[in-house]
Amino acid sequence: MRQSQLFGKTAKEERKDASLTSHRLLLKAGFIRESVAGRYFFLPLGMRVHNNITDIVREEMNRAGAQEMVSPVLHPLELWQETNRDNAGNFGLMMVEDKRGAKFALGGTAEEMFVDVVRKFQISYKDLPFNIYQFSQKFRDEKRARGGLLRVREFVMKDAYSFDRDTEAFAETYARMAEAYTTIFARMGLTTKKVLADNGYIGGEYCHEYVVDCAIGEGRYLQTKDGSYCAHEDVAEIRLIPMNPDEEVRPLKTIDQPAWVKSMEDCEKHYGEPRWRFLKNVVYKRIDTGALIIAGIRGDLEVNKTKLEKVVDAIELLEEADEEDLARLGTKPGYVHSWGHEATYVADHSLKTVHNFIGGQKEETTDTIDVNYGRDFTADIEADIVLAQEGHESPYGKVLTEARGIEGGNIFQLGTHYSGKMHDAVYQDEDGSFKPYYMGCYGIGIGRTLATVVEIHHDARGMIWPRSIAPFDVHLVSLAREEATREEADALYRDLSSTGIEVLYDDRDLRAGEKFADSDLIGIPTRLIVSEKSNAEVGYEVVDRATGEVSRIPKAALIKTLK
Amino acid sequence: MRQSQLFGKTAKEERKDASLTSHRLLLKAGFIRESVAGRYFFLPLGMRVHNNITDIVREEMNRAGAQEMVSPVLHPLELWQETNRDNAGNFGLMMVEDKRGAKFALGGTAEEMFVDVVRKFQISYKDLPFNIYQFSQKFRDEKRARGGLLRVREFVMKDAYSFDRDTEAFAETYARMAEAYTTIFARMGLTTKKVLADNGYIGGEYCHEYVVDCAIGEGRYLQTKDGSYCAHEDVAEIRLIPMNPDEEVRPLKTIDQPAWVKSMEDCEKHYGEPRWRFLKNVVYKRIDTGALIIAGIRGDLEVNKTKLEKVVDAIELLEEADEEDLARLGTKPGYVHSWGHEATYVADHSLKTVHNFIGGQKEETTDTIDVNYGRDFTADIEADIVLAQEGHESPYGKVLTEARGIEGGNIFQLGTHYSGKMHDAVYQDEDGSFKPYYMGCYGIGIGRTLATVVEIHHDARGMIWPRSIAPFDVHLVSLAREEATREEADALYRDLSSTGIEVLYDDRDLRAGEKFADSDLIGIPTRLIVSEKSNAEVGYEVVDRATGEVSRIPKAALIKTLK
């Protein structure tokens, strides 16, 4: 491709509001362009990388035995109604109606569609297992769409759906996909770790994210040094140990408390006791119904909103209550009681680890002490709602540290979460009985992966593409001043291209400095310079974008070197 | 791929409502499956063909210098408002609103989107020409969707948009695309002819369809034997010659006419004159406004509704008026006057070819004769609204015959139809002035092309795929009864696959007859049989699906033969 004819110019200025490196560089280098917020054009350079990533994903999915197919983009809304996902929480499902009044969802994922196509066939245990996947446009009606390709409203996703007989067969499928995912990311220069994660609106019992360590990542992970445990903060569990098991349980007492004692800090100061000794209540409100939820937890711990949302079946529907909400309970900040309010009480397991809590019925000048969970109060729901943090212990007793990362892809166990809800989503087993399929699903966002590669592989001058997905193999930069050199560059472009090497040929009428700056920005792995000082006579200057290493290659060895 | 693991079974029965061969065979063979009317899943076999077609289109587009990119599927509605296409006629544009109230079109084509991305760059004459294309999902809110993949509501289309300086530069681009289209279809086994066609809601001055001759085609074409003229009936023109130039023009007269003379047949009988002698009026109604249009034409000719719709700027908005509509004019069927009604009169050029028409002011027992267009009446609009038919002459005087065909793809001159309407859609020319881009656009529906190949390449037993796009290269059919033969088949499958030959391996536990029937239906070009009678020892039986030719190939020559 001659650069003079390439559509999508590099920009001189940078977008002020592009805070992420990948967003900034991809825009500046002319790989992408925004249509409206969260919706992007892939320009020819970006498209080439997008296609290369797609090819790698396809190859590895096929190698793992999955079969490519494709579903319509518009999903009949009835299917989403079968699983009750048409109004699932806050998930941004877009809907459209045709002129005959039929309603469709613009899918964010396609579980229902794939179950629907499978149930159109009468399948038996002999047809299982199989794993079918597609590349298709997905839509998310996100409230905010910032960060370039890392949070968008529309994107191409590879989504796969596996169908197995049972848990045991599924375990193999899941392991095969896990392996394929590691390979897929590795082939693009991304080292991933497999992390326990939250399955959000997808459902099922467990899932894993493939995470690339990266300081700008939107995901927070808790891991042990030895790698024995690694989980997203949304789901990370911690080991709870009794704080004072030997302390004698005393009878509940109401005592005087100075009016200035309000916050947790005040309590520590006044009582001279560590935080774990105090009861803490955090109040949340459902944004759909307004119902209030009081989460009780040990004073030294924080509530994990994502866990709480799952526990009360309000995914993406909770927000912290404000003073007005507390007034409805007849209380105010700092004065929320551990029992007695008109609300749903949820108790974290940590309430069982302390004898003789302080707090629970705080009033202006009094509070209760020696309060014991189970004896003096209980909750409507008892569950793990704790937010794991650095310094906590993993369930197996190793210290957790925090890391940030970008989520590259997900694999989900679904079990019978969908096939159980949708009618006729069954196979006939050996004994003649009909059983729901045992499913899994597996997603990779192509644009997100592309942006992640840029976050990991760049320097101050621009992007540094791994060869496997680079938009071109070679950036042939002509600095020719004389006609003969120009012709030499033209000939070289033709020769290299004819051997199957993908060449971007900078034939533009620009200064060397501008060309090199663009070349660094675009980040093609190898730069080949043709000029009066770099030619067949003296050998060609070849620069490695990643290492900056410069070599001089005689013409005879050129194609072999570049291939 | 082992057929036992392939998702998407062949069906025993045929769909009763699938009237087209391609629809019937693709469903039966498990290539596609309907989601809801007009929206299809491509199952793994169909997807492989779809991908192969996409690859050929991509290769030829790239070879012709076009650059692949991609636009969002949701088009900001403001863009469609700029060109007034948001409410253009009856075109099935679907719209969707996000939760922030932003409106989007689910595009059927993407002219506005591509102009929008190009105008985001300040381009100059030096950047022209370029041609950018995408593969992306398109939506048409069709009233009826029947005929399988030939008329759908959702499909993948390759759409390209070219940007040139002016008419001359564009002519080269258009010719290059025309050539690429011929090559693309030829590579898939389709012989196409390039046919002048109607540009419908796309706009511009002219366009061509690539048509595959086929009796079931929905398109009717008029062509001369020598190929000098070929046009879709929507636009086909005919040569009009004066019918009676030497006849003296007589003064208009009102004469008695028996009450039984009503139809054109009655007129012929009563007057003993040929049809061209009579005035004919056809009344149409705009379905949006109810306004009435009277189309006047020579008695031996028919009105072409598509031409008329363009002339009165009511694309896909006209229907024939009924008795109620005529009553509003104060008349009834057979009694419509050639002048004087409250309606828009459109006169076909043919009214100028006759001296002394009969008709024009028919009443119960009278009519006018010796009526002359231009002298006794005129029209609001005079235009070509004639329907070309077999036996008419082409504009160059050759006899036209009719043919039916399937439209495989279109190329459109757009000129400044879009860039003229959209703000800032300009390039800076050499003289510093800003000029709108001169554009063209070029579409191919992938699924439609796939179905067309089936319409052309099949026999009573099933599909016959051209090698270039076949789902697999070889159908390895094992009829093994003994374990050793089964192992030989397994080994052969592995060996062939490892050399890059794409093999569908029928390892299922079925009778030979069922396997052969499925194999014929699926239509992979080469069938390789492994059985106790077809093996390494005696040579393998290889059957050519297209010719039925059977050869026996020794093992040593097998890979070379099949590659």
Between A and B, how many residue pairs show a Cβ–Cβ distance under 8 A? 143
**Number of separate domains in chain B:** 3
Please tell me the distance in Å from A394's CA to the nearest CA on chain B: 40
Whole-angstrom distance, CA of residue B338 vs CA of residue B454: 49
What CATH number does the domain containing A264 carry? Answer: 3.90.960.10
Q: State the number of CA atoms in the 13 A half-sphere of A162 facing the CB.
A: 28
Q: Which residues of chain B have pLDDT under 70?
A: 88-91
* Residue A460 domain flag: no
Per-residue pLDDT, B153: 94
φ, ψ for residue B357 (rounded to 5)? -65, 155
Please check whether residues B120 and B212 belong to one and the same domain.
Answer: yes
Per-residue pLDDT, B453: 97
Please tell me the distance in Å from B392's CA to the nearest CA on chain A: 40
What CATH number does the domain containing A485 carry? Answer: 3.40.50.800
Per-residue pLDDT, A84: 87
pLDDT digits (tens, 9 = 90+) for A328-379: 999 999 999 999 999 999 999 999 999 999 999 999 999 999 999 999 999 9
Please tell me the distance in Å from A182's CA to the nearest CA on chain B: 24
Please check whether residues A555 and A451 belong to one and the same domain.
Answer: no
Tokens 């529309």, located at residue: A154
* Residue B500 domain flag: yes
Structural domain including B544 reads 472-562
A113 interaction partners in chain B (CB closer than 8 Å): 35, 41
Bridging pattern class, strands B540-544 and A400-415: unpaired
Per-residue pLDDT, A88: 60
A72 contacts B35? CB cut-off 8 A:
yes
Per-residue pLDDT, B219: 86
Please check whether residues A371 and A274 belong to one and the same domain.
Answer: yes
A102 contacts B36? CB cut-off 8 A:
yes
Please check whether residues B484 and B423 belong to one and the same domain.
Answer: no
Question: Last residue of some domain: B331, B355, B383?
Answer: B383
CA distances for A129 relative to A161, A300, A369, B493, angstroms: 11, 48, 59, 20
* Residue B87 domain flag: no
Task: Name which of A51, A94, A116 is nearest B98 (Cβ-Cβ).
Answer: A94
Whole-angstrom distance, CA of residue A28 vs CA of residue A19: 13
Query: Which of B48, B61, B69 to mutate to probe the A interface, most A CBs <10 Å?
Result: B69
A127 interaction partners in chain B (CB closer than 8 Å): 7, 9
Closest chain B CA to residue A65 = B1
What CATH number does the domain containing A60 carry? Answer: 3.30.930.10
B67 contacts A6? CB cut-off 8 A:
yes
3-state secondary structure of B457: coil
B43 contacts A69? CB cut-off 8 A:
yes
* Residue A196 domain flag: no
Q: DSSP secondary structure string, B306-359?
A: HHHHHHTT-TT-EEE--HHHHHHTT--TT---SSSSSSEEEEEGGGGG-SSEE-
* Residue A94 domain flag: yes
Whole-angstrom distance, CA of residue A362 vs CA of residue A350: 20
A95 interaction partners in chain B (CB closer than 8 Å): 96
Please check whether residues A59 and A130 belong to one and the same domain.
Answer: yes
B154 contacts A74? CB cut-off 8 A:
yes
Please check whether residues B167 and B276 belong to one and the same domain.
Answer: no
Q: Which residues of chain A have pLDDT under 70?
A: 88-91
Per-residue pLDDT, A143: 80
Please check whether residues A14 and A138 belong to one and the same domain.
Answer: yes
Whole-angstrom distance, CA of residue A332 vs CA of residue B146: 64
Task: Name which of B99, B120, B137 is nearest A92 (Cβ-Cβ).
Answer: B99
B132 contacts A44? CB cut-off 8 A:
yes
Please tell me the distance in Å from B325's CA to the nearest CA on chain A: 26
Please check whether residues B450 and B491 belong to one and the same domain.
Answer: no
With CA atoms as reference, report the closest residue to B234 among B282, B200, B203, B284.
Answer: B200
* Residue B89 domain flag: no
Question: Last residue of some domain: B455, B487, B516?
Answer: B455
With CA atoms as reference, report the closest residue to B411 among B184, B220, B189, B92.
Answer: B184
Please check whether residues A120 and A259 belong to one and the same domain.
Answer: no
* Residue A243 domain flag: no
Whole-angstrom distance, CA of residue A308 vs CA of residue B481: 60
CA dihedral B164, B166, B169, B171 (to 10 degrees): 100
B36 contacts A7? CB cut-off 8 A:
no
Task: Name which of A44, A130, A137 is nearest B67 (Cβ-Cβ).
Answer: A44
Please tell me the distance in Å from A535's CA to the nearest CA on chain B: 28
Per-residue pLDDT, B543: 97
Whole-angstrom distance, CA of residue A444 vs CA of residue A220: 19
B121 contacts A9? CB cut-off 8 A:
yes
Please check whether residues A516 and A438 belong to one and the same domain.
Answer: no
Please check whether residues A116 and A75 belong to one and the same domain.
Answer: yes
A132 contacts B35? CB cut-off 8 A:
no
Per-residue pLDDT, A231: 93
A143 contacts B99? CB cut-off 8 A:
yes
Closest chain B CA to residue A106 = B96
B39 contacts A74? CB cut-off 8 A:
yes
* Residue B92 domain flag: no
- Based on the number of CB atoms within 10 Å of its own CB, is A241 exposed (0-12), middle (13-18) or buried (19 or more)? exposed
Interface ipTM = 0.90
Please check whether residues B174 and B272 belong to one and the same domain.
Answer: no
